[in-house]
Structure 1
Amino acid sequence: MENNLKVCLSSKKMDWTTPKDFFNKLNEEFHFTLDPCCTVENALCEKFYTPEEDGLIQDWEGEIVYCNPPYGREIGKWVKKCYEESKKENTVVVMLIPARTDTKYFHEYIYYKAREIRFLKGRLKFGGEQKGSGSAPFPSMVVVFKKKRGSYETKE
């Protein structure tokens, strides 16, 4: 059992492709315009950034962003970027990430600063290289960052 857990938490492949039906439901609600961390093969929006273009250094102002970042050690950088970009005019950011409420990034950028946190019931079945491997080895959450009427709303 310990080896299985180690494999789940240290997978060499950190890209978990969003299930299409799951994305479609979110897209019906938000109408996404940008996918900042994808490949050409799994891009979900007409406008997107590949790893070579590095969505972390791009400007997302005015976009409605769907972000399913790599789930490795870099995830904290993506959470911070999503929060910071959401403070810009007419920018909304929706993230799909593991529900890791014990992390530093959860407490610094999500718990008090997200407009909404949706914990998903059950485990998602991802696509890409993980497709067909069953449910994810972790719970997931959708985090929504956005301004409210000209000023950034936080729960602080």
Structure 2
Amino acid sequence: MAINSVLYSSESEVWETPKDLFDKLDTEFHFDIDVCALPSNSKCTTFFTPEQDGLKQKWEGVCWMNPPYGRKIGAWMRKALESNTTVVCLVPARTDTKWWHDYAMKASEIRFIKGRLKFGDSKNSAPFPSAIIVFRKKNNENIKVTSFEKG
């Protein structure tokens, strides 16, 4: 059985959001801006590129975020938590990490995605589970945890 070695390496921190997943969430949330994108994979007309550094920008409206999945993911999740707006995040479900407990567990809602996503035009599913983390403008005291059908 052939295994795509890039999926199991740190060669890339960029995991392009599956279009059907984004479209389903966009129908629900009506995103204004993609806060962390490349011109080739942005999901919204308005987006911040790495050169603009979304971590240094003010986030307004309803934000979509699929951050780099490397060491900086904690900084992106902290920004999502601290922004005074609604931010919907696609992240690996790394429930054993510091960033998960420091930031994801303070979200309004956590949606665990059933199965493994296929990112971008990959032929194989990701080697990790994913979750949708929702930070609402006004967080509730109680976190809502659900499963989410990806397509």
Deviations 1:47-92 (A, max 9, x none): 100000000000013x10010001011111111011011xx2xx20
Q: 1:95 aligns with which of 86, 89, 98?
A: 89
1:11 — aligned with what?
Answer: 10
Letter in 2 for 1:99: A
Aligned with residue 110 of structure 1, among 78, 95, 104? 104
CA separation in 2, counterparts of 1:78 and 1:123?
Answer: 22
Residues 19-53 of structure 1: CA distance to partner in whole angstroms, max 9, x if unpaired?
Answer: 11110000000000010111111111111000000
Q: What's the TM-score once normalised by structure 1's chain length?
A: 0.84
Q: In percent, how many aligned pairs have the same letter?
A: 54
Hey, which bits of structure 1, 4+ residues long, moved more than 6 A? none
Q: Kindly report the root-mean-square deviation, in angstroms, between the aligned alpha carbons of the 2 structures.
A: 1.8
Query: How many aligned positions are there?
Result: 140
Distance 1:52 1:154, change over 3 A: same
Choose the corresponding residue for 1:139, options 111, 118, 129. 129
- 2:148: which partner in 1? none
Structure 2 stretches of 5 or more lacking a match?
Answer: 144-151
Task: Give 2:147's aligned residue.
Answer: none
The Cα of 1:108 is off from its aligned counterpart by 1.0
Aligned with 1:147: secondary structure?
A: coil
Q: Which 5+ residue runs of structure 1 have no aligned equivalent?
A: none
Q: Displacement, 1:18?
A: 0.4
Mark the CA change 1:9 to 1:84 in structure 2 (over 3 Å): closer, same or farther: farther
SS in 2 for 1:126: coil
* Partner in structure 2 of residue 66 of structure 1: 64
In proportion to residue count, which structure has more helix?
1
Structure 1 residue 7, shift from structure 2 partner? 6.3
Q: Contact between 1:147 and 1:153, CA under 8 Å: does it hold in 2?
A: no
